Structure 1
Amino acid sequence: MPVYDYQCAECGNFETARRIAERDEPAPCPQCGNAAARVVIGAPSLGGGSADSSDDAGSYGMRHRSGCSCC
């Protein structure tokens, strides 16, 4: 299972392994049990060009630029 980062308002950041289908749902904080929102960090662009040059949205909302290094 993938590991995602979450941020609890009371305790701070933590990581937890979750199914992809559950990644955007709040996760319970392991210290206090409060619901914590997922921390989403944008990845740096590796393909060059402008942000408007995205070609197609893949599954899970990922976007690929022509000539990207991942595929």
Structure 2
Amino acid sequence: MAISISLNIILAKRNVSSKELAEAIGITQQNLSILKTGRAKAVRFSTLEAICKYLDCQPGDILQYEPDDNG
């Protein structure tokens, strides 16, 4: 996938656990895990907003576009 997720990096920098973030933004740990590992096919803007608000970051701190070798 051309979009990579670096949520683990932000969590580590903020010293926040996945469990803490999931509880704070109102999603399950399983759904947060799916997002963190890049297996999610979509993310709601409301979820992204809640993550950014809680972690005091920008969407670009979490999501990066990395073109694949095919262009």
Tell me which interval the TM-score lies in, with the shorter structure as reference length.
Answer: under 0.3
- The higher radius of gyration belongs to 1
Relative to its length, the structure with more helix (as a share) is: 2
More strand by share: 1
User: What is the TM-score normalised by the length of structure 1?
Assistant: 0.28
Give the TM-score, by structure 2 length.
0.28
